[in-house]
Amino acid sequence: MAKRADFAGLDLLTAFGGDESLKKEILLSDIITNPEQPRVFGREDVGDLVESMKRLGLIEPIVVRKLGKKFQIVAGERRFQAAKLIGWKSIPVVETEASEDRCYEMALAENEKRKSLNPWEVGRAIQFLRKERKKTAEEVGKILGYTERYVKQLSSIARLDQRSVSELLKSGNDLSVKNLEALLKKKEGRGGETISPRKPGERITLDLKPLTVKNRESFLRELSTLKKKYGLS
């Protein structure tokens, strides 16, 4: 697999060298969302968070930055939307003084860390950073923990328009790399790139005997998620 998995365990602000000393609680009415955040699909689907936050509260504060007299969300929009539905008046936040460009990178990294984005959304954000913010594929790779090759290949998926991706989703197909590549190939009438080239019939065998029952079950759950994401059988 072209993507590294070690980034997933990092704390967002630690990964970006942020200062966590600015923790506080602010009114929801003083918070605004970011119209340029990387997530496109499922931004309003917060039912799972509502139930969790009702029972457990907010486990991880959202990240915001000062924007005029308001605070703009850098990471945690779904937690913010859930808090509004619950009826909270205020919410714990961590304020960062990072630049607008840096905040976009943080938002992308936070979503990817939580596996909240599909490959098209990631590719779209990568394309934005490369074209609008003049980031190299290597620089974007460091932000996300991706190889340079994987960054370039996901960027190619972003050539698909949102309507086509929405129609694919409505048809009952997962927004996996495999399905998105097939759609790109059909739309452009050519071979298209392959994100994770494999030899026909190539299989990998793993011995799970050394794992405890609990670890084995956890591994199989994560494997199932990865298989679904990458369109593997």
Closest C-alpha among 90, 94, 95 to residue 27: 90
Residue 197 has pLDDT above 60, yes or no: no
Distance CA 35, CA 48 (A): 23
Collect all residues with Cβ–Cβ distance below 8 Å to 133 and sequence separation of at least 6. Answer: 101, 104
Distance CA 196, CA 150 (A): 9
- Average pLDDT of the chain is 78
Q: Are 60 and 94 in contact (CB under 8 A)?
A: no
Structure tokens at 179: 């399905």
Distance CA 166, CA 94 (A): 34
For 114-118, 196-200, 226-230, which range has the lowest pLDDT when averaged over its residues?
Answer: 196-200
List pLDDT tens digits, range 36-83: 777 777 666 788 789 889 988 888 888 898 999 999 998 888 889 999
CA distances 101 to 74, 128, 147, Å, are 11, 11, 21
Give the global pTM.
0.54
Mean pLDDT of the 208-225 span: 78
List pLDDT tens digits, range 95-154: 888 888 888 887 787 777 666 678 888 888 888 888 888 888 888 888 777 888 888 888
* Type of residue numbered 52: S
- What is the biggest distance separating any 2 CA atoms in the chain, rounded to whole angstroms? 58
Q: Coil, strand, or helix at residue 70?
A: strand
